[in-house]
Structure 1
Amino acid sequence: MRYYRIISYLLVFFLITSAIAFIPFQKAIVFKPNHSDEKYAYILVKNEAYFQIKYTHSIHLSPVIESYKITPDYHVQQYELMYEDFAIGMPANAEEGETFVQKDGVYTIKNMKRDFPFFHLRIGQVRANHTVIFKNREYPLSQTIKPGTSVKVEIRKLNFLSQWKGVNILESI
């Protein structure tokens, strides 16, 4: 009888441990390489619903900041874009429902509601210096992701095993 009780306890312990290890529970911003087996990078988020991607434009060599929020359905919504030069690759005006502001040599498109389930980003090799800004701190992505790597940026829940396999950007720098 005692043998069965021990086996029962071990089975319950195994089931609870498995559930904890494999059931996704922690929301994260995930930067997953598209064409390699490199580890993915992530930022764990609780109630923080906002982040930014900052980079140097490859032609203008001026800063660009894209601002995003995490929606309740785990999409990424771009709500603002700031840049200093018009030319190639940058919008000349706001779209319907958006606001275009020019102040002190900086152009800002506000009230954007561009919703994406994910987006792709290539980590710059030379000048771009892609940086994620989270909770007012900057984290250069080249510190955790090899420059030149194309990544899929998405919001998803991670389990303990997934967190162990990836690289937490906030802890690696």
Structure 2
Amino acid sequence: MKNLSIKTLFFSTLLLLVTLLLLLYVPFRTALVFYEENTASIEAFLPIKEEDTFQIVFKHSIHLTDVVEKYIVTANKDIKQYEIIYEEFGIGMPSNAEVDQEFEYIDGKYHIKDLNNVFSSINIRNGKTVSENRLFWGEQGNHMVYFNDYFEPGAWFRVEIKNLSLWQYLKGVRIHE
């Protein structure tokens, strides 16, 4: 009888530990993850789902006008850029749309729509001199944070869509309003 209860206790404890490890370390939640430079160190993350959209807005360092890049999360966890909006032509800005893209001028801004730029990751630098980069998300892009609230001016990041474990989720910095 004593031998049976030791075995039961041992297997119960083992089952509890395995369950705890699975809960902590098996990825369960998809997020837009900001990795510090070329490392696996997570600086911050934004919980996100397939087909969710987000925008990265940066201040053009020469024109000092906003440039809006719009993205959507694909089914295979890539980042697809589908639109760019800007106010001035010049360095780094496209002068027209390519084949199968739409170019419009709306309310003083140039829109290039129907982009199909798909990335497994993107590199983003938080502005150092003109540091007004912002992240928008939500159904209408109604949630917004400044990169400076989470990152040092001048820092750069690799951004990817990844599944995070509960442990990564709990120890990381969650982006929120």
After TM superposition, the score normalised by the length of structure 2 is 0.91
Q: Which amino acid in structure 1 is aligned with residue 25 of structure 2?
A: F
Residue of structure 2 equivalent to 1:5: 8
Residue of structure 2 equivalent to 1:18: 21
Residue of structure 2 equivalent to 1:154: 160
**Residues paired across the two proteins, number:** 171
Cα deviations across residues 77-125 of structure 1 (Å, max 9, x unaligned)? 0000000000111000011110000122100000111101111011112
Q: CA deviation at 1:75?
A: 0.4
CA RMSD, aligned part only?
1.6
Question: Which residues of 2 match residues 89-128 of structure 1 at below 5 A?
Answer: 89-128=92-131
Cα distance between partner residues in 2 of 1:32 and 1:140: 17
Q: Which runs of 5+ in 1 are unaligned?
A: none
Structure with max Cα Rg = 2
Cα distance between partner residues in 2 of 1:57 and 1:100: 20
Question: Which residues of 2 match residues 63-78 of structure 1 at below 5 A?
Answer: 63-78=66-81
**Equivalent residue of 1:9, what SS?**
helix
**Equivalent residue of 2:136, what SS?**
strand
Percent identity for Structure 1 against Structure 2: 32
Cα distance between partner residues in 1 of 2:23 and 2:135: 29
Q: Which amino acid in structure 2 is aligned with residue 75 of structure 1?
A: D
Cα distance between partner residues in 2 of 1:36 and 1:18: 24
Residue of structure 1 equivalent to 2:33: 30
Q: CA deviation at 1:45?
A: 1.5
Cα distance between partner residues in 2 of 1:110 and 1:71: 17
Cα distance between partner residues in 1 of 2:32 and 2:73: 9
